Amino acid sequence: METFSTDIYEIWSQSKNIVISTHSNPDGDAIGSVFALAMAAAEIGAKPVVLIEKYSEKFDFIKGTEYVYNGNLDDLKPDVFIAVDCGSKNRLGVFESFFDKANVTFNIDHHISNENFAQNNIVLGNSSSSCEVVFEIIKNFCTLDKFIAEALYTGIVTDTFGFKYNSTSKNTMEIGARLIEFGIDFSSIQDKVLYEHTTKEVEVFKKALDNFKIDDNIAYTCLTADEIRECGASNSDLDGIVEYILNIKGIDVSVFVYEKGDNLSKISLRSKKADVNKIASVFGGGGHIFAAGASFNGNVQTALDSVLDEIKKELDKDE
């Protein structure tokens, strides 16, 4: 990691245009990572710009938003492109073409399914979050401050559910402790990221629970685009549904499918035992052993039927 950091320091501090970007429908780990990286890059004299989709207002407390690019996209000529929290290049969505245009590319991530798609791949599959990986990189060449600490803490808390998931290691906890030393309001960050909900999030959650079903030890639910819209919600308001139904006693795997576009569905999987990364990979997706996702060409019902079939096959194998 230290050698990597030396290379990164050399490249970043000498390049003119560093573009930092992340996956579509960005979560707390994606948002925390891009802004922590942007603030760190600026600190060493680089000129970073951030390409990120609109995200939930619950993350508005994260600093560094002055680096978000709001110029004409046609004028953007990246020298260096850093993709963070993306298991594959196409997760960059609308920003993928800028990755292809860059002279030097970096892929910073923690998904075990990562396809090592960049020239420089810093993928730590045992890390709790991309923010944990970002911390390991930037601590070697940049002076961290309270704002960077807030961004990193947000990502770790998002992906570990407040240091709860077993992706949390001793190192994760130690990084948490280091970040707390900057005087961040860690309690309020956990509240904002994990517990506070907007009315539209509750409405869409209620709808998801209306559609909820159990099949043996699998819990599942789905939402159509119309249902999401009727609740006044958008796709960034759907976090937490798939985790919530996994917590039902006796359930081993949970599935949430929503309609993302015309004949396009998004599948989210969580598990207590089975390897859902493997199941997601059948559909061209991936993630982690206990948390994974995939896009599916087809409507919600077809996506749901296909994924339930695949899960049953996998669970049968385990018995």
- Judged by CB under 5 A, the number of residues near Mn ion is 5
Shortest Cβ 160–Mn ion spacing (Å): 10
Segment contacting Mn ion by CB under 5 A, of 11-19, 152-160, 161-169, 282-290: 152-160
Classify 291 as helix, strand or coil: strand
Amino acid at 103: N
In the complex with Mn ion, which residue's Cβ is closer, 15 or 113?
113
Q: Does the footprint of Mn ion cover residue 29 (CB under 5 A)?
A: yes
CA pair distance 126, 110, nearest whole angstrom? 7
Cβ at position 155, least distance to Mn ion in Å: 7
Compute the radius of gyration of the chain from its Cα atoms.
19
Q: Check the CA dihedral 140-141-144-149 and report its sign.
A: negative
> x-or-dash pattern for Mn ion, window 207-226, by CB under 5 A?
--------------------
Q: Does 109 bind Mn ion (CB under 5 A)?
A: no
Is residue 310 involved in binding Mn ion (CB under 5 A)?
no
Asked if 85 interacts with Mn ion (CB under 5 A), we say yes
Kindly tell me which residue out of 150, 159, 237, 239 binds Mn ion, with binding defined by CB under 5 A.
159
Q: Which stretch binds Mn ion (CB under 5 A): 66-74, 124-132, 198-206, 209-217?
A: 124-132
Give the Cα separation of 22 and 31 in Å (integer).
8
Tell me which stretch binds Mn ion (CB under 5 A): 79-87, 138-146, 213-221, 234-242.
Answer: 79-87
Stretch that binds Mn ion, among 21-29, 42-50, 61-69, 118-126 (CB under 5 A): 21-29
264-271 and 253-261 strand pairing: antiparallel
Find the shortest distance in angstroms from Cβ 45 to Mn ion: 28
Amino acid (1-letter code) at residue 272: K
User: How many Å separate Cα 43 from the centre of its chain?
Assistant: 24
Site for Mn ion in 48-67 (CB under 5 A): none
Residue 237 binding Mn ion, by CB under 5 A: no
**Helix H or strand E segment including 253:** strand 253-261
Binding residues (CB under 5 A) for Mn ion: these are 29, 85, 129-130, 159
